[in-house]
Structure 1
Amino acid sequence: MKMQKYLFIPIMPTPNGRFHIGHISGPYLKTDILARNLKFLGHDVKVMSGVDTYEAHVSLKAIQEGLTATELNNKYYELMLEDLSAFDIVFDSYINPLSEQHSKSFNETHQHLCDELKLNSAVTYKLEKFHKRNDGKLMTGCWIRGSCSNCGSQMKAFYCEDCGANLRPEEIINPYFIPALTNNESVYQITDTCAYIKVNPSILEKQWKVMGLDPRFIEIARTFLKKEGNNVRLTYPDTWGIEYKDPKFSEQQVMFSYTTMYFYSLYLADKYREAFDNDEKPFSIGSQVKTIAGFGIDNTNAYLVAFLGAAQGLKIKPFDYFLTNHFFQLDGKKIASSTGHAIWAADLIDKHNYPSDAARLYIMYINPQFSPNSFTLDKFDSFYKSVYLKDMIGQTDDVINFINDQGTVDVQCTPSVRLMEFFEAQQVHFSFPTPDILKAINTLLDWLKISPALSKNNITECIDWLIGVSILSHSITPALSKKVMKNFNIDEQWVEVNFQTKEETLA
């Protein structure tokens, strides 16, 4: 089998709160499972991301918590690491752009990429209306609330989560501002010229097709492109963010989050080369490094339009694959950090006392990859007791104890034909461009059903079943897999001989 290089860059979360189970159910746990599987197969896999420091909600949340934006960023950066660790989600690099190690080079990279877009004639300009408070504060982005002019739902900033519309400030109906204006404050309109990236929609259509994307995501992107005249925002007036200067601007302008997340990805790709001694630039034309991003439906336009459009303008290779997901609810309602309607990732493990493996298994079992889904503690607890404790842990422990009672046993035997069929079926479900984690989990659960039929007189069958549990659970419930491997001293060389030498079908 030829070793392939992979670089996963799941979306950079805004550090204005901790990771909740909705975040985990989307790109982060899915990325971890797929990366673990590829590493198991012998590929060179790296997972990199970090916090989206300069997203506008950071400055708003900082005011609400009585902190500076920098203090807030650093606080939630550390708490997010705890949430990831609680779920055994592993990153090779998870950065804080405000750290001494990154702050200067991070900003320089963004400036350079903006300049490159202008040099390549990929930038255009639009005159727009914005709100400004009488004390000079620009009331853009997250500072604005109101009704969506497309569907009538309540929305904030530039995006309506109900219908997916992206609106300019002047398009929001009955706008009001956060924090609420005092008696001494008023808001007036200003006009300023903003920078946009020009996008070729025919190229995007071809890329979407190759990526095998959900048609619902594609339709959102098409609607956005039509409304915006095949352009995507590059800058807007604000003070918190990476400033970009242009003689056409009247106000201070910063780079818009859609574009900065892509520039962030390119920055991480540079760090990938430096940190892991890779000569190849992951996004250079002709690069053999497979690049994979992950995001939710609310960031469709950022990835399907801004990311791919900016790659056009920079004349570099776009991401090879996108991992997408719909919304994940709690008790049938939208998870909202601001109102506290959420379960923080680490709390599900530490305060509710569930093992990481159980939480990983259930959240991916109901993951919102193909449609929205909802989490309830009652249903999780029922699944935990019946599927995880009884079918998975109980049966595994029974068979382990039976084999251990037999004395010295050579468990490093050749896997059965049946096990290899299950393994190869699971690999199909893990394969790109559209891996299906639920089907991969069901392959594991189907394997567990074999246990009651095992003959305790046939120790070879029992050993083969346990090996299957370890192999098929390796990426999904890693603690269980390690437990079986450690108990029977299954080493990496045996895994390589029996599983990594198989022809696998990942692109």
Structure 2
Amino acid sequence: MSAPTPTWITATPPTPNGELHVGHLAGPYLAADVLRRFTLADGAPVLMTTGLDDHQSYVATRGLLDGLTGEEVADLNGERITRGWDLAGAAFDRVVAPRRDPGYTEFVQAFFQKLYDNGVLVPRTRPLPYCVPCDRWLYEAYVTGGCPHCGAGSNGNACEPCGRPNDCGDLTDPHCVVCGAAAEPRPQTRLYLPLAPFADRLARFWRDTPMPPHLRALCERMLGDGMPEIAVSHPSDWGVPVPVPGFEDQRIFVWCEMAPGYLLQYEPESARPAVGPVQFFGFDNGYFHAVLFPALYLAWDPELPLARAFVVNEFYRLEGRKFSTSRRHAVWALAALKEGGADALRLHVLRDRPHGRQTSFSEGDLARAREHLDTLWNGWLNRLVEAVHAETGGVVPDRRPDGPGWEVLAGRLTRLCGELREAYSVEGFDTRRAVDLLDETVRCAADYGHVHRHERERPAGREAYRAALAGELAVASALAAWAAPVVPAGAARLSETLGWGPARRVDATALTPPPAGTVLTLPDGPLFGS
């Protein structure tokens, strides 16, 4: 019998023009990890992948601004990015490294060549900004100007605020990012992908693919305005060389490169996925994932499975302004992890995730998240363990949860668990809701404990009191399983304290006290927050 096909989860490759910041973690990376852990706990295989977007022009421009080579910038920040993932608990199964993985360049070029040979890519001569002082063609990160669609400040090729693509030459008042000089338009022949031939198939794909309304509106606006032609090559010396004769001095547009790069994430040998991925990305990358990539895949292999669902975050802001690596407006992930620890950082950014709206990080947020865990979660758990030690010497009593209060609490938490499973699922994915439900679990258990401590004051209340302690221990056991996708490190410590193994299923069966006789021993540090 063949092994079951894994659920494929992707998170958009980060650009190594800087290290990870808290906005990245609040966006695709920790959210994808939540789905990964939830799915694995359900007993289903998972493949979670990403890459490093080494060939982004933002890497090369950062090198020019800092006096470094593109390679130096990518290597330095690539190492910091992967270390940030590790410390934050974002457990990727595969990370593609474009400049190191054998066969990467050859596959990307073969993908591109096939599209050209099949007449999908065509040459077009159109204006492209040129910087005379730098003696450089300007595209993407090299140029800034006004978006031709919404008028906002934009770099070349795509506008972050409205999500629409541009052709670089249609930016208003273009300027060179490196030296600041005004750019002049000059004719340049590049290779283009006309999207109009894919309009009907893309419309059917959008109709059948779960995505948020903001992204669906972007797709429908582009369709209604007439699908554009997208430049897929640029004159540059940074990136994968174009294999088409006559264009040797150009490089494959990095977002066109990323499409075959995703295929290599799934299966480096065959590069032919058996299933479509659940894709996590920010809205500013929405056009690439929902329009450009599907068109490229349809052109390369019409039978290739397309994305199963799009899970999209809006911008996460820092004190009201968008996090930005290139502008160095950020709270860096490594520093934040050192300050607050993985539990507090994960809890905060997943509770504050910009899901359907923009949210903002403020100074003191991590300290408040750590205090929240210590006061609410650890406070209840510490009181519970102390109560068990006072009653039985720290040994789980041979008593099952019982009584009217337990029946009410168990029913409430069983219903809550159904909502939690929905918040963890692809269809209802919402980490903000998940954290709220975990907090509600702890509050319900803490209230139950306060009420039933009075049982021990009754002359005949000893058995009722021990049943109430068993009920609290059952909720603690459930919390260890239910919170693992959000705060895996703390959940693992709690599981160990209660004598449970790791990665139990998020369901109502976890609402069971540890086996009688289990000795409860708290770790040296806090259960959650260290």
- DSSP-derived class of the 1:453 partner: helix
Could you say if the C-alpha distance between residues 404 and 318 of structure 1 is closer, same or farther in structure 2, counting changes exceeding 3 Å?
Answer: farther
Which residue number in structure 1 is paired with residue 79 of structure 2? Answer: 78
CA distance in 2 between counterparts of 1:424 and 1:168 reads: 47
Q: Following TM superposition, by how much is the alpha carbon of 1:22 offset from its aligned partner in structure 2, in angstroms? A: 0.9
| Cα RMSD after superposing both structures | 2.9
Letter paired with 1:270: E
Where 1:22 maps in the other structure, the secondary structure is helix
Whole-Å Cα distance in 2 between the matches of residues 72 and 142 of structure 1? 15
2:125 is matched with which residue: 121, 124, 127? 127
1:468 aligned to which of 459, 467, 478: 478
**Residue 505 of structure 1: aligned partner:** none
Distance 1:313 1:254, change over 3 A: same
TM-score with structure 2 setting the length: 0.83
Tell me: CA distance 1:188–1:476, structure 2 relative to 1, closer, same or farther (3 Å): closer
CA distance in 2, matches of 1:220, 1:497: 37
- The equivalent residue for 1:333 is 321
In structure 1, distance between residues paired with 2:164 and 2:210: 23
Q: Is the 8 A contact 2:345 2:369 kept in 1?
A: no
Structure whose CA Rg is larger: 2
| Closer, same or farther: CA 243–487 of 1 in aligned 2, 3 Å | same
Q: Counterpart in 1 of 2:40?
A: 39
Q: Which runs of 5+ in 1 are unaligned?
A: 275-279, 501-507
**Partner AA of 1:148 in structure 2:** C
Q: Secondary structure at the residue paired with 2:27?
A: helix
2:190/2:232 contact within 8 Å kept: no
Match of 1:258 in 2: 255
CA distance in 2 between counterparts of 1:445 and 1:300 reads 32
Alignment of 1:9-24 (within 5 A): 9-24=10-25
Distance 1:412 1:193 in 2: 75
Given residue 479 of structure 1, which amino acid in structure 2 is its aligned partner?
Answer: A
CA–CA distance in 1 between the matches of 2:506 and 2:356? 33
| Deviation of the 1:263 alpha carbon | 1.3
CA separation of 1:370/1:127 partners in 2, compared to 1, >3 Å: closer, same or farther? Answer: same
Structure-1 residue corresponding to 2:384: 399
SS at match of 1:424: helix
Residues 1:294 and 2:280 aligned together: yes
Residue range with higher mean Cα deviation, 390-399 or 131-140: 131-140
> What is the deviation of 1:467?
0.8
Q: Secondary structure at the match of 1:127?
A: strand
Matches for 1:297-336 after TM superposition, within 5 Å: 297-314=283-300, 315=302, 316-336=304-324
Provide the aligned length of Structure 1 versus Structure 2. Answer: 479
Whether the aligned pair in 2 keeps the contact of 1:197 and 1:231 (CA below 8 Å) is: yes
Question: Residues 347-426 of structure 1 correspond to what in structure 2 (within 5 A)?
Answer: 347-350=335-338, 353-385=339-371, 387-405=372-390, 406-407=392-393, 408-409=395-396, 419-426=413-420
Shift of 1:132: 3.7
More displaced stretch, 302-311 vs 254-263: 254-263
Q: 2:398 and 2:425 mapped to 1: Cα distance?
A: 29
- Aligned-residue sequence identity (percent) comes to 19
Describe the shift of the 1:421–1:179 C-alpha distance in structure 2 as closer, same or farther (beyond 3 A): same
Superposed CA offset, 1:326-363 (max 9, x none): 1010111112223332100111121xx21211111111
Aligned with 1:206 (options 204, 207, 212) = 204
Instruction: Tell me if structure 1 keeps the 8 A contact 2:199–2:227.
Output: no
Q: What is the Cα deviation at residue 388 of structure 1?
A: 1.7
Distance in 2 between residues matched to 1:290 and 1:174, nearest whole Å: 41
Say whether the 8 Å CA contact 2:146–2:173 is kept in structure 1.
yes
Q: What code does the residue aligned with 2:491 have? A: S
Aligned equivalents of 1:79, 1:28: Cα separation in 2: 15
Q: How much does 1:380 deviate?
A: 4.5
Deviation at 1:58, TM superposition (A): 1.0
> 1:163 offset after TM fit, Å?
2.8
Q: Secondary structure at the match of 2:49?
A: strand
Aligned-partner Cα distance in 2 for 1:145–1:492: 50
CA distance in 2, matches of 1:301, 1:216: 11
Q: Which of 442, 448, 456 lines up with 1:453 in the alignment?
A: 448
Looking at structure 2, the residues matched to 169 and 321 of structure 1 have their Cα atoms a distance apart, in angstroms, of 30
Question: Does the 8 A contact of 2:276 with 2:305 survive in 1?
Answer: no
1:14 is displaced (CA, Å) by: 0.8
Residue pairs, 1:160-175, within 5 angstroms? 160-175=159-174
Contact kept in structure 2, 1:149 and 1:173, CA below 8 Å: yes
Deviations 1:140-164 (A, max 9, x none): 2211122223333222222222333
Q: Which residue of structure 1 lines up, in the alignment, with residue 524 of structure 2?
A: none
Instruction: Note if contact 1:412-1:494 (Cα within 8 Å) is conserved in structure 2.
Output: no
Matched, 1:158 2:143: no
- Report whether the alignment pairs 1:8 with 2:6: no
Change (3 A) 1:381 1:494: closer
Deviation at 1:253, TM superposition (A): 2.0
Q: Which moved more, 1:132-141 or 1:341-350?
A: 132-141
User: Kindly tell me: are residues 142 and 492 of structure 1, through their superposed partners in 2, closer, same or farther at Cα, counting changes over 3 Å?
Assistant: closer
Residue-by-residue CA offset, 1:10-41 (whole Å, 9 max, x unaligned)? 00111100111111111001001110111111
2:29 corresponding residue in structure 1 = 28
Moved over 6 A (4+): 410-415
Superposed displacement of residue 208, structure 1: 2.0
Distance 1:362 1:181 in 2: 38
Counterpart secondary structure, 2:137: coil
Once residues 279 and 224 of structure 2 are traced to their aligned partners in structure 1, the CA distance between those partners, rounded to angstroms, is: 24
For 1:402-438, what per-residue CA distance to the aligned partner results, in whole angstroms no more than 9, with x for missing partners? Answer: 2344243269989956544333321122222341222
Q: Equivalent residue for 2:438?
A: 444
Q: CA 1:499 to 1:125, structure 2 compared with 1: closer, same or farther past 3 Å?
A: farther
After the TM superposition, which of the residue ranges 160-169 and 313-322 deviates more from structure 2?
160-169
Which of the numbers 421, 428, 433 marks the counterpart of 1:427?
421
Q: Please, which moves more after superposition, 222-231 or 405-414?
A: 405-414
Matching residue's letter, 1:311? Y
2:188 to 188, 191, 194: 191
411 and 240 in structure 1: CA distance in 2 versus 1, 3 angstrom threshold = farther
Structure 2 spans left out of the alignment, 5+ residues: 454-464, 511-530
